[in-house]
Amino acid sequence: MAEEIKITKKSPRRGDDGYKIVSVRMKDEMIEKLDDLSVRTNRSRNELINMLLEAAIDIVKVEE
């Protein structure tokens, strides 16, 4: 009889990390501002967009 069979855990597939891919159209000026902020903060454009959206969604008020 075999001693034991070892099977390594499979790494999560893309998208299984709690993140979803979203495509957004932005004006060139907004991309330029994000890229400038990216250089100044040494953060990726993706990271900045997530940080900014997280901060903004908590302070938004819906007017009726």
How far apart are the C-alpha atoms of 49 and 60, rounded to whole Å?
Answer: 16
Q: What is the pTM of this model?
A: 0.69
Q: Coil, helix or strand for 13? A: coil
**Model pLDDT for residues 6-47, shown as the tens digit of each residue:** 777 777 676 667 888 899 999 999 999 999 999 999 999 999
CA–CA distances in Å: residue 11 to residues 5, 6, 8, 16: 19, 15, 9, 10
**Residue 49 confidence (pLDDT) above 70:** yes
* Domain ranges (residues) in the chain: 28-57
